[in-house]
Amino acid sequence: MTIDFLIEIIATCLVKFGMTTLPMGGIYIGGGVANYLSGYIEKKQDIFWKHFLIDNVISESILTKIPIYILRENPTLDGLEASLLNENQ
């Protein structure tokens, strides 16, 4: 299925990003596509985690410590709204 393949691609890219930057505070996935896919990623976690936790003991021990978050709201618009509200006060 195409969505499964897209989830595999996202997980594989996040592995490379996670191992390069070691973001121990977490990786935040945002945007329209991530928001659309969030339900599929939650339902098909086994596909995501199979590709995120690659078969390397060292990598797996590091990657299990990095939390993954999916932003379901648009932080850009929320931040812009908060900025405008603060500016008008």
Q: Of the candidates 64, 66, 49, 57, which has an alpha carbon nearest to the alpha carbon of residue 10? A: 49
Mean pLDDT comparison of 6-15, 38-47, 51-60, 66-75, highest-scoring range: 6-15
Query: Could you tell me the pLDDT band of residue 21, with boundaries at 50, 70 and 90?
Result: very high
Q: State the chain's mean pLDDT as an integer.
A: 81
Q: Tokens in use for 9?
A: 């691609």
Domain parsing of the chain, residue ranges: 2-87
Amino acid identity, residue 84?
Answer: L
**The model's pTM:** 0.69
pLDDT above 70 for 40: yes
CA separation for the pair 18, 22 (Å, rounded): 5
Are 52 and 66 in contact by the 8 Å Cβ rule? The answer is no
pLDDT (average), residues 23-33? 86
CA separation for the pair 7, 11 (Å, rounded): 6
